[in-house]
C-alpha cells in the first residue's frame, strides 16, 4: 500500500453539520490551514438538493451510514435504524430540514453539568449569527447568516385542519416559535434556500471552497487518531486502497457525530479501559463516559385515512411526480421545494411538567419510514415525540476493526417515566384528532389506538411501533463529572490538542430537532478558537 503524509494546523474529521461550520469559520483567517476529512462522497446529487426528495438520500447506502441498533429490549427485540449522513453536509444533507432552536430552559439547564457560558443568553448570538431568517433580523433572529431559514406555506387543507384542531384542543398559536414561546401549534420553519436544501455544505463549505488554506478530502475513512504520548498529533486514514497520515500542528477536531466520534475515540485507545482491553486495544486514557449517556427522541406514528380525496398523495402519482420534478427543475418551486413537514406543535403531556415535553410533526399523507424504506399512501399522520427522555443508551465497540460499525443500544422506554409521558402525549393527540376541525377529512384510524383504548394497551401498542426521530446526542458530553468526556469548549479531558465539536458533546438532547442546535454549538466553539470573535 502507498503511504503519504501531510500537515495542517487543524484536521477536522467529518464534514457534517458541525465540521463544515468549523472549516469555514477557521479558514476565514488566511493564516490557518485546515484539512476537512469526510468518509463519504460529495453532496451534488439532485436527491439531496431537492427538499421533497428527502426519502431518497435516507434510503441510500451511499449518503447514509445506515446504522442499526442492537435489539431493543422494550421494543420486542426490534433493531432500530439510525440515519446519519455520510457525505459533505453530513446529516444536514439527508435530514427533514425542520429548524428548531429548542427552549431557553434546555440551555439554561446545561449549567447543571458544571460548564460555563452555555446559558441561552450565551447561545443566542450564535443562533443569530448562523441564520438568515425569512422574517428579517430582530433582537432574537439573524438576518445575514449562512443558513437560510424560511417559513413553510402550509396552504394544504390538512395542514389547516391540524392547526385549527390544535387550537380547538386548547393549544395557542405559537407564531415564530424560534423567538417567542415554543409551546403551541405552529407553521414550521425549514432550512431551505430558494427551493433548495440549505445544508451546511451549501451554506458554509461551498463559499469557502476556493480558499487556498482549506483542503477537503472525501471518501476517506479515518481509522485512528495518532498520539504522541497524550497529545493528538494527527490521524491515519485509508483512501483508495492506500494509507495516509495527516498531521495536525494545532489540533485534531472530531466532528464525526454522536456515533462516529466515540467510535473513533475508542478505536484510538480513549474510553473505558476494560472495554478497550476486551477488544485488544491498549488504553491511552480511561474515560468511561465515551459512548455513554446516549439520548434520542423516541417517536410514535398515529395514522388516519383521509376522506374527500384531500391527501397530497393524490398529487404524487406518476403524472404528479413528473409535474413536481419539472416545476422544481425549472423554477425551484412547487411541491418539490417543500419538505412536507409544514406544521407542528409542542405541548405538555401533563400539567405537572415544567415546560413542554412533547412534539408533533405532521404529514398530509401516510408514510412508513421503517428501517430506511419509505412507502406513501392516502391519509394523514401525526408523529408524537418525547423531548426529554429519561432512558439512556450506549455506543460500544463490536470490533477493533475500524471498518466494522459499532454496537448501538438506545434502551428506548427502559425508564418507565418515558412510557408514562409517551402514553399521555398519545392520548392528548387522539383527543386533538377528535376535534371539529378534523370532522370533514378524518377517516378510520390505521393501526392506531382509539380514544377509549386503555393506557396499558396504548403502552403495549407503543412498544410495537416506537421508532427514532434520528436525534442522537451526548455520547461525549461536556461536563465535570466522572462520565463527562469534554469541557465547555469541546476539549477532551486528559488529552492535549484533541477537541470534539458535534452532537455528541451536548449535555442533554434539546427539546428540538437537533441540526440547528449543533450548528449553533459549532459556531460558538469556532468563535472561541479565533481571536477577536464574539464570545
How do residues 363-385 score in pLDDT, each as one tens digit? 999 876 555 455 678 899 999 99
Q: What is the pLDDT of residue 464?
A: 98
Domains defined along the chain, listed by start: 1-113+200-295+393-408+472-535 (3.50.50.60), 153-187+298-386+413-465 (3.30.410.40)
pLDDT in tens, 70-116: 999 999 999 999 999 999 999 999 999 999 999 999 999 999 999 99
pLDDT in tens, 494-519: 999 999 999 999 999 999 999 999 99
DSSP string, 221-266: EEEEEEEETTEEEEEEEEETTEEEEEEEEEEEEE-SHHHHHHHHHH
Q: Could you give the CA distance from residue 378 to residue 367 in angstroms, rounded to a whole number? A: 9
pLDDT in tens, 155-197: 999 999 999 999 999 999 999 999 989 999 999 999 999 999 9
Q: What is the pLDDT of residue 382?
A: 98
Query: Chain-wide mean pLDDT for the chain?
Result: 95
Q: Could you give the CA distance from residue 346 to residue 44 in angstroms, rounded to a whole number? A: 34
pLDDT in tens, 422-440: 999 999 999 999 999 999 9
Q: What is the pLDDT of residue 234?
A: 98
DSSP string, 165-194: HHHHHT--B-SSTTTS---EEEEPEE-EET
Q: What is the pLDDT of residue 374?
A: 59
Find the mean pLDDT for residues 265-281.
Answer: 98
Catalytic residue among 104, 275, 471, 493: 471
Q: What is the pLDDT of residue 240?
A: 87
pLDDT at 305 over 90: yes
Question: Within 10 A of 127 (CB to CB), how many other CB atoms are there?
Answer: 26
Which pLDDT band, with edges at 50, 70 and 90, does 395 fall under? very high
Contact present, 493 and 317 (Cβ < 8 Å): no
470 has catalytic annotation: no
Which pLDDT band, with edges at 50, 70 and 90, does 535 fall under? very low
Q: What is the pLDDT of residue 237?
A: 97
Per-residue exposure over 7-43, b if at least 16 CB sit within 10 Å of its own CB, e if not: ebbbbbbbbbbbbbbbbbbbbebeebbbbbbbbbebb
pLDDT at 9 over 80: yes
Which pLDDT band, with edges at 50, 70 and 90, does 533 fall under? low
Q: What is the pLDDT of residue 532?
A: 64
Q: What is the pLDDT of residue 320?
A: 80
Q: What is the pLDDT of residue 313?
A: 79
Q: What is the pLDDT of residue 328?
A: 96
Find the mean pLDDT for residues 10-31.
Answer: 98
Q: Could you give the CA distance from residue 133 to residue 381 in angstroms, rounded to a whole number? A: 28
What one-character DSSP code corresponds to residue 386?
E
Contact present, 54 and 48 (Cβ < 8 Å): no
First CA to last CA distance, the chain: 45
Q: What is the pLDDT of residue 494?
A: 97
User: What percent of the chain is modeled with pLDDT above 90?
Assistant: 92
Say what the alpha-carbon torsion angle 53, 59, 65, 69 is, to the nearest 10 degrees: 130
Q: What is the pLDDT of residue 2?
A: 43
Amino acid at each position: 500500500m502507498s503511504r503519504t503524509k501531510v500537515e495542517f494546523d487543524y484536521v477536522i474529521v467529518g464534514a457534517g453539520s458541525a465540521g463544515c461550520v468549523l472549516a469555514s469559520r477557521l479558514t476565514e483567517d488566511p493564516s490557518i490551514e485546515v484539512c476537512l476529512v469526510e468518509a463519504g462522497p460529495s453532496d451534488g446529487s439532485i436527491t439531496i438538493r431537492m427538499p421533497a426528495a428527502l426519502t431518497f438520500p435516507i434510503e441510500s447506502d451511499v449518503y447514509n451510514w445506515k446504522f442499526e441498533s442492537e435489539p431493543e429490549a422494550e421494543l420486542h427485540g426490534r433493531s432500530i435504524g439510525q440515519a446519519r449522513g455520510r457525505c459533505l453536509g453530513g446529516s444536514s444533507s439527508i435530514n427533514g430540514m425542520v429548524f428548531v432552536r429548542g427552549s431557553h430552559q434546555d440551555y439554561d439547564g446545561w449549567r447543571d453539568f458544571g460548564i460555563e457560558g452555555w446559558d441561552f443568553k450565551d447561545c443566542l448570538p450564535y443562533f443569530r449569527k448562523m441564520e438568515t431568517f425569512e422574517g428579517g433580523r430582530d433582537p432574537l433572529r439573524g438576518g445575514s447568516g449562512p443558513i437560510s431559514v424560511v417559513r413553510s406555506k402550509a396552504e394544504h387543507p390538512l395542514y389547516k385542519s391540524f392547526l385549527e384542531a390544535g387550537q380547538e384542543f386548547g393549544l395557542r398559536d405559537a407564531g415564530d416559535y424560534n423567538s417567542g414561546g415554543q409551546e403551541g401549534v405552529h407553521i414550521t420553519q425549514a432550512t431551505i434556500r430558494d427551493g433548495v436544501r440549505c445544508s451546511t455544505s451549501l451554506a458554509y463549505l461551498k463559499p469557502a471552497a476556493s480558499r487556498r488554506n482549506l483542503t477537503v478530502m472525501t471518501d476517506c475513512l479515518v481509522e485512528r487518531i495518532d498520539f504522541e504520548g497524550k497529545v493528538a498529533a494527527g490521524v491515519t486514514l485509508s483512501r483508495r486502497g492506500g494509507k495516509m497520515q495527516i498531521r495536525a500542528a494545532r489540533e485534531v477536531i472530531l466532528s464525526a457525530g454522536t456515533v462516529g466520534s466515540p467510535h473513533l475515540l475508542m478505536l484510538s485507545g480513549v474510553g473505558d479501559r476494560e472495554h478497550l482491553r476486551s477488544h485488544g486495544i491498549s488504553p491511552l486514557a480511561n474515560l468511561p463516559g465515551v459512548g455513554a449517556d446516549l439520548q434520542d427522541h423516541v417517536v410514535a406514528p398515529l395514522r388516519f385515512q383521509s376522506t374527500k380525496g384531500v391527501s397530497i398523495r393524490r398529487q404524487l402519482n406518476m403524472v404528479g411526480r413528473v409535474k413536481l420534478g419539472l416545476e422544481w427543475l425549472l423554477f425551484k418551486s412547487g411541491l418539490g421545494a417543500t419538505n412536507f413537514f409544514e406544521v407542528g406543535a409542542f405541548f405538555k403531556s401533563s400539567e405537572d411538567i415544567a415546560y413542554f415535553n412533547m412534539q408533533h410533526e405532521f404529514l398530509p399523507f401516510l408514510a412508513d419510514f421503517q428501517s430506511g424504506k419509505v412507502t406513501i399512501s392516502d391519509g394523514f399522520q401525526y408523529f408524537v415525540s418525547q423531548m426529554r427522555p429519561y432512558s439512556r443508551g450506549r455506543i460500544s465497540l463490536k470490533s477493533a476493526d475500524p471498518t466494522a460499525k459499532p454496537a448501538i443500544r438506545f434502551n428506548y422506554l427502559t425508564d418507565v417515566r418515558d412510557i408514562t409521558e409517551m402514553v399521555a402525549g398519545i392520548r392528548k393527540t387522539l383527543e386533538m384528532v377528535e376535534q371539529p376541525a378534523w370532522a370533514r377529512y378524518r377517516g378510520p384510524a390505521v393501526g392506531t389506538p382509539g380514544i377509549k383504548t386503555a393506557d396499558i394497551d396504548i403502552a403495549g401498542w407503543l412498544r410495537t411501533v416506537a421508532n427514532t426521530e434520528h436525534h442522537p446526542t451526548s455520547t461525549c458530553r461536556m461536563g465535570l463529572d466522572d462520565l463527562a468526556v469534554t469541557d465547555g469548549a469541546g476539549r477532551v479531558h486528559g488529552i492535549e490538542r484533541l477537541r470534539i465539536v458535534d452532537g455528541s458533546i451536548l449535555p442533554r438532547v434539546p427539546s428540538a430537532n437537533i441540526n440547528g442546535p449543533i450548528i449553533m454549538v459549532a459556531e460558538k466553539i469556532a468563535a472561541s478558537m479565533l481571536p477577536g470573535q464574539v464570545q
